[in-house]
Amino acid sequence: MLTQQFPESKHPLVKSLFHHSDSELLTLFQRYPEQGKYFVTIFCRYYPIVYSLIGHSARSPVQADYLFALTWRHIFYEMRGLVLRTEGANEPSSFQSWVINVTALCINQGVVPPVESITYDLKAASPPLWCYVEQALESLPPMLRLIVVMAQTFRWSETRIAAYLQAEGESISPARVRTELQQGYRILEARLPEDIRQIYMSDASEEAEVGEEIKEGELVLSDSI
């Protein structure tokens, strides 16, 4: 049973796209990768179906939420090259059928960790935001990316991160780690699509750092390294 609602479905940018068909939204998503509103609209259209399917198979609500997010991440990356064909071709004939097939694949083959090791919070971070934060994370320089992941995923202190990097031959102090971490957050925010920032961060305080947004939802996971 669906227990989570997503406020982005009421955002004006998303509501303005509700009249588009699935195929139109898919085309717009592929044609304008620098914009996130098309994927968010697709998510809002199909999250009830996906969550319902996952909810009937997961062992716990926490694992269901985690698998739900993983499924949408898979959908996000697969949509980039998706081609819909007419009935009878090898490719899926409708976007809805494809979404259902991908969900079933993730349910049957997805590896979900034990409840106690899951830090992702669906209520704090919607899957589309997670997808675009990870996309921005992939664009960071390797060292900066590693520092952000160690801080966010493993919750390491600046001192522990510095000690680890020093053991790897890097000359860096905890104070420098703190500076690099804040820089990483600023770059992440700058590399998010503008409409994603409008949809998910417009209500945040102007002084708030994107790092706080990330921490609330534990958006950076260990498999991002």
Break the chain into its structural domains and give their ranges.
Answer: 7-117, 127-224
Digit-coded pLDDT (tens) for 166-194: 999 999 999 999 999 999 999 999 999 99
The structure's pTM equals: 0.85
What pLDDT is stored for residue 88 in this prediction? 53
Q: Which H/E stretch holds residue 104?
A: helix 95-109
Find, among 60, 198, 76, the residue nearest to 132 by Cα. Answer: 76
With a cut of 60, say whether residue 46 has pLDDT above it. yes
Out of 12-26, 29-43, 206-220, least confident range: 206-220
Position 1 confidence tier, pLDDT thresholds 50, 70, 90: very low
Q: Residue 15: CA atoms inside 13 Å, Cβ hemisphere, count?
A: 7
- Helical H runs in 110-173? 127-138, 142-152, 158-167
Output the pLDDT for position 3: 56
% pLDDT > 90, the chain: 69
- Check residue 68 and give its pLDDT: 95
> For residue range 71-130, what is the model confidence (pLDDT) as tens digits?
999 999 999 999 987 555 555 569 999 999 999 999 999 888 899 888 888 888 899 999
Query: Is residue 31 very low, low, confident or very high in pLDDT (cuts 50, 70, 90)?
Result: very high
Least reliable range by pLDDT among 44-53, 64-73, 195-204: 195-204
The per-residue pLDDT for range 210-219, each reduced to its tens digit, is: 555 555 445 5
Let me know: does 98 contact 84? Beta carbons within 8 Å: yes
Asked if 128 contacts 8 with a C-beta cutoff of 8 angstroms, the reply is yes
Task: Judge contact between 10 and 44, C-beta under 8 A.
Answer: no
Angle between helices 22-31 and 95-109 (to 10 degrees): 70
Whether 193 and 35 have beta carbons less than 8 Å apart is answered as yes
Question: pLDDT value at position 76?
Answer: 98
User: Which pLDDT score is estimated for 102?
Assistant: 96
CB-CB neighbours of 49 under 10 Å:
14
Which of the four pLDDT bands, split at 50, 70 and 90, describes residue 160? very high
Q: Does domain 7-117 have CATH number 1.10.1740?
A: yes
